[in-house]
């Protein structure tokens, strides 16, 4: 994840559409009493969990599909997570590798009990097929084998996922530089750590290396907190609910500056309270704050990466 930190820091230094306001970071950190509010991983009570390999399979499928909910106002991460949970409770073989390779759009909708086409439905189906095929080809059909190979390292796990699954290769080119974000690969590591409470499949000795998961909610919350400032043109685009193209300078800056800003927050909080604060914890705090605000205006980008 050092590639994520260094490349996003470079973006933050040269960005023109999004600015990180250090005084805003200091103000937010100054208002934190003792430590950041703790948010439990499954605070919504919507995820499948049996403390075994099937939970790992569930989380990997969930994170393969965890992107782009905003085009359908009634669709959300909670709907996806709970829909997959229900599917697995009804049929323990629903996420077997061979079955993942055969799902169609209508079958995915039926599994989620969703009444209409999903945003980027063809891409979601393609990614299910990709996950099933590569799990079967390289990991005996089981995501738990993938996790076993990482040697309890979140960094190795993210690297392994990015190497084997193209749909998780979340990086872009910005002003001639390769920028790495790896949102869904990192969130899988964080989900394992959170679900298993740092034990068993969730024991990752370097979970502190994981950054935040650059999506469309966290930048909006950081702006609301006064940590990110947008150019007038970018602010107008977002406030008008106009789309921002994937891979554009604006989109990359929104995501990269969010990662960098939260890294600066983490460093300042850690020095203030005298112990390490995890970016994973900060991300969950910011994200849970954002999803509770139905009127929160965020950028709109059609992307399979978040």
Catalytic positions, written as ranges: 215
User: What does the longest C-alpha to C-alpha distance in the chain come to?
Assistant: 52
Q: Which residues pair with 300 in a beta bridge?
A: 243
Return the number of other C-beta atoms located less than 10 Å from residue 122's C-beta.
10
Under a CB-based contact definition with an 8 Å cutoff, are residues 252 and 4 in contact? no
Structure tokens at 232: 């007038």
| Phi, psi (rounded to 5 degrees) for 230 | -105, 150
Residues in the chain, overall count: 306
Structure tokens at 153: 């390292």
CA distances, 41 to each of 26, 272, 281, 283 (Å): 27, 25, 9, 11
Residues whose CB is less than 8 angstroms from the CB of residue 10 and which lie 6 or more positions away in sequence, other chains included: 177, 179
Alpha helices in 70-216 (DSSP H): 77-90, 97-100, 105-112, 121-138, 143-148, 154-164, 183-195
Report DSSP state, residue 300: B
| Distance of alpha carbon 9 from alpha carbon 15, whole angstroms | 10
Report DSSP state, residue 52: S
- DSSP, collapsed to helix, strand or coil, labels residue 217 as helix
Under a CB-based contact definition with an 8 Å cutoff, are residues 125 and 104 in contact? yes
Report DSSP state, residue 172: E
Under a CB-based contact definition with an 8 Å cutoff, are residues 109 and 117 in contact? yes
């Amino acid at each position: 994840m050092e590639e994520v930190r260094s490349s996003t820091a470079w973006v933050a230094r040269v960005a023109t559409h999004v600015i990180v306001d250090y005084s805003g970071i200091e103000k937010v950190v100054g208002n934190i009493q003792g430590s950041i509010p703790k948010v439990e991983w499954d605070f919504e009570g919507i995820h499948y969990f049996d403390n075994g390999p099937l939970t790992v399979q569930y989380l990997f499928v969930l994170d393969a599909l965890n992107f782009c909910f905003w085009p359908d106002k009634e669709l959300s991460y909670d709907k996806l997570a709970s829909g997959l949970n229900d599917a697995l409770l009804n049929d323990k073989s629903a996420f077997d590798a061979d079955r993942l390779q055969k799902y169609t759009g209508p079958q995915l909708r039926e599994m989620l009990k969703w009444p209409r086409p999903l945003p980027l439905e063809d891409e979601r189906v393609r990614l299910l097929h990709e996950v099933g095929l590569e799990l079967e080809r390289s990991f005996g059909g089981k995501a738990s084998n993938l996790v076993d190979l990482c040697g309890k390292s979140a960094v190795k796990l993210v690297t392994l996922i990015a190497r084997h699954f193209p749909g998780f290769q979340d990086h872009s080119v910005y002003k001639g530089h390769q920028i790495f974000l790896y949102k869904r690969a990192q969130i899988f590591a964080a989900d394992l750590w959170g679900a298993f409470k740092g034990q068993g499949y969730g024991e990752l000795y370097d979970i502190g290396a994981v950054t935040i998961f650059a999506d469309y909610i966290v930048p909006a919350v950081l702006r609301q907190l006064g940590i990110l400032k947008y150019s007038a043109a970018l602010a107008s685009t977002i406030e008008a609910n106009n789309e921002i193209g994937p891979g554009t300078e604006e989109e990359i800056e929104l995501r990269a500056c969010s990662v960098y800003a939260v890294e600066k927050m983490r460093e300042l909080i850690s020095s203030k309270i005298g112990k390490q604060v995890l970016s994973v914890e900060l991300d969950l705090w910011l994200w849970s704050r954002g999803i509770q605000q139905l009127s929160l205006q965020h950028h709109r980008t059609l992307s399979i990466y978040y």
